[in-house]
Structure 1
């Protein structure tokens, strides 16, 4: 009788802890998503002086016109990454050439 109650209590605690773990994971995920959404919408437009709503709207409009769309910014980032990869490939090729030709002690700029 006592063993059954003990086992029943242990099972209840296990089920409760599993549910708490799931709830905590869901809460953390929701908080992370909320934070990401908040960061996407909250951009600083200026520092200092008072900013009127009409000025803010105009600044946002101007920033969108000058900065391009998200697609354009993504394309610029891809191009920058491609250039970085090409630079690293070139450095690696130079290093391989140096080792093959006996210049392994030579240091770059």
Structure 2
């Protein structure tokens, strides 16, 4: 039994990478949808798997980090295991600029042609 376990462990370890984060890095928080528990908004099939990037405040233990949660998340403990975190890589395409959107008064709108795909 022991040789089989060690062989399976070697196969599994090839795919694993040790996750380490630095203080002031940003990470996504993975929300595990548990049945009947609703802490981060909607639950269900189409709910998001990870939520907004949070800043790491402190490295508490070997694999435990403290995050800077929002004040309205006061019912959630701010310390999470590394398995609940995903590294956030800043990409300018993730940022939506609201200055480009022009609002008009009234319920009317004007359609604008973006591209002709076929004739």
- TM-score, length of structure 1 as denominator length: 0.26
**Higher strand proportion, which one?**
2
Rg larger in 1 or in 2? 1
TM-score for the superposition, normalised by structure 2: 0.24
Structure with more relative contact order (C-alpha pairs < 8 Å, separation 6 or more): 2
